[in-house]
Each structure stands twice: as structure tokens, then as C-alpha cells.
Amino acid sequence: MPKPPDLDTLRRHAVARSLFAPTTLMAAVERLGGFVQADPLRAPARAQDLTLRHRVKGYQAGDLERRYPRLDLQEDFFINYGFVTPALRALMHPRTAHRVWDEPRWQLANAVLAEVGRLGEAHPAAVDAALGHGPVKNWFGGNSRLSTELLDGLHYRGRLDVVRRDSGTRIYRLAAPSLGQQAHPDPQAAMDAMADALVQKYAPLPAGSLSTLISMLASGARQWQDLRRTTFARAKARLPHARVDGMDWYWPAGEDPARGWRIPAQVRLLAPFDPVVWDRRRFEQLWGWAYRFEAYTPAAKRVRGHYALPLLWRDQVIGWANASVKGGALHVDCGYAADRAPREAGYQAALEDEIQRLADFLGARR
């Protein structure tokens, strides 16, 4: 009978399975469960680029956006906003939105759909100019254009695709009718498949984190909220698991956390949303300290920095780095959870290698 894993084993499993050998962009997305989280902040690059640079051969900042029109991916909301494969996206739709539109709002939305169909590929400004819907208060109290709000809502409901970005602005076209209008034949099977995608991306997962992810999934696919508890129970019964230090942990079928994962003597600066560090509950269990994303924390209250990148050395997240490009040159400042850098032979050279890789990825000087 195999020996049950301990926390050291789970930590190596978490790092090695997620930071796989670099491959093609689409193969990397599939290995990440069919989903890459996106974030608009660029510090020093967007989160999706910082995530993919460790996993895609020769990846450069902005490659995903540049290649997006030719990739079999779509922008959409999963448990958060990002890039999803068509197979995963189809499981989420037709999706019930948080805000139910009444008949007058649908009349406006159908006019937007007709204008997008007429244009073929539509910039929000062109739709607004044609329809003249005017301004509206958005959900956080600011002003936006009603046409833009309707485009966002139609995209969320699966009625529009994003075909590309124009200086960061989404350009839309009509989606296939089947995506936003035809009910999934087996909602429970769809929820199970999406739960498996989350486990593939974030495993090994403590039970509390698995429950949270499935709750986020049910929130993003509100039409199946009543399946949340059933989906969690089915996942616990279906997935391999072990009890470690009084906590149940889960991972994908066919994986063995104790198989002897090879961890290279390498430093990696990770995105705040990288799958290795995304789950803050798991982070504290595996690395023994609390990492927080502070971009939206007032500057005077920040502990580690505006966009501190978790610093992984071998299989240990030992600190963080703040990186910026000024005048074409990359600047990196590191901090450590133990208040000092490791004294192990090879660490400083490995850190320099990673800073050089980051500079090459950004097209910056050291």
C-alpha cells in the first residue's frame, strides 16, 4: 500500500505538476485546465503573460493578445475573467446573469445585436455612435456608455464573441446561436467537468479550497447554483484524496503526489494569480506565511508592494519581488519571508538567471 503523502510531498506535487516543461501555447492552456486568468494591470506585464511565460516555449510579453485572433480560445468569465477553450466555454452556457434584463432592456440589447451583425466586427464606439444610447451609471457608481454595458452583458450571456483587442478595447462579433440559447443536455455532467477543470488547474487542493472553487463556479453559472452541494459531494467521492495533518486534500485521477517529482534548482518570479500561488488558503498551508495581493491596498498600508511577485526557489516560496521597467531597463527588488536571502550555494546565480529571463520576456535591458 502506498505511503500517504505529507505536506512536503504535496508541496512538491503542487509545484512540479503546474510548472511543467514549456510547451506550445495551446498545450499549456489545456494543461492549465483550459483556462488562463486575465488581469489588466501591467506591472511589469499582465498576469496572463506572467503565467504563460513559465509554461510556453519562447514566450514574450503580449504574445497571447497578438496571437489571440488565430487561437482556438475565447475571452469569457469562468470563475473569474480570462481566456477559455471552446470546450470549457460551452459548458458554461447558456448562462443566467446576476442581473435579469426586462423587456425594454432586451429591446435595447437586440438593437445592439443587430448593429453588431450589420458591422460584422464591432468596436463599442461604433455601436454607440450608431445607436446613440447615451451614458449610464455603472455598477461601481461611475459613468459609462449604455451601449458598452449592453455589449458586456451580451458577451457574458454568450451572445457575442471577442474577436480581438484594439488598444485594449474588446472588438465583438455575433456568437454562434447554440452557445447562448440552447440548454446543456446534462447540467450535472457540465458542473462535474468544470469542477474537474478547476482541480486540474489548482491541485492539490484542500477540501475548503475545493468547496470555495465550486461555489465560485456556481456563482459564474448561476443557472446551476442548486447543483453546488451535489457537485462538491460528487467531486469528493470521485477524486483521489488523502488526509494530511487533519485536512483532506484532492487531486486529479491518475496522479500520484508521491511519485518523486523532480524540482529544478531554479528561481521563478510568479504572477500573483499564478496557479501555484492563487489559492491563499493552500499557500499558507504549504509555505507557512501569508501572501497578499496589494495592488488595491492604499500605498501607506502595503507590506510587500503594489504588485509583488511571489519568489519561488526550488519548491519553496521564500519571498517576493517588485519589478518595473524604467527607461527600457528592468529593476527588481526582492524581499524575504525570513528577512534574508537564502545562503544556499547556487541561489544568487539562479536569481540572476530568472531576472535575465524576465528581462528577455519583457524586451528590457538588465
Q: Is 357 exposed, middle or buried (0-12, 13-18, 19+ CB in 10 A)?
A: middle
- In the predicted model, is pLDDT for residue 137 greater than 70? no
* CA dist., res. 164 & res. 161, Å (int): 9
The predicted pLDDT at position 257 comes to 95
**Residue 143's pLDDT is what?**
57
Band (86; pLDDT cuts 50, 70, 90) = very high
Instruction: Look at residue 111 and tell me whether its pLDDT is greater than 60.
Output: yes
What is the per-residue pLDDT for 220?
Answer: 86
pLDDT of residue 299: 94
Q: Residue 144 pLDDT > 90, yes or no?
A: no
Class of 103-181 in CATH? mainly alpha
Q: What does the pLDDT average to over 171-175?
A: 97
pLDDT of residue 174: 97
pLDDT of residue 4: 81
Q: What percent of the chain has pLDDT over 70?
A: 96
Residues 159-188: what's their mean pLDDT? 89
Average pLDDT over the chain, rounded to an integer:
94
| 269 pLDDT higher than 90 | yes
142 pLDDT exceeds 60?
no
pLDDT of 136 over the 70 cut: no
Domain regions of the chain by residue span: 103-181, 267-362
CA 85, 86, 87, 93 torsion-angle sign: positive
Model confidence at 120: pLDDT above 70: yes
pLDDT, one tens digit per residue, over 199-225 is 999 999 999 999 999 999 998 888 989
Nearest to 74 by CA among 92, 56, 61, 96: 92
The mean pLDDT of 298-308, rounded to a whole number, is 95
Amino acid (one-letter) located at 151? L
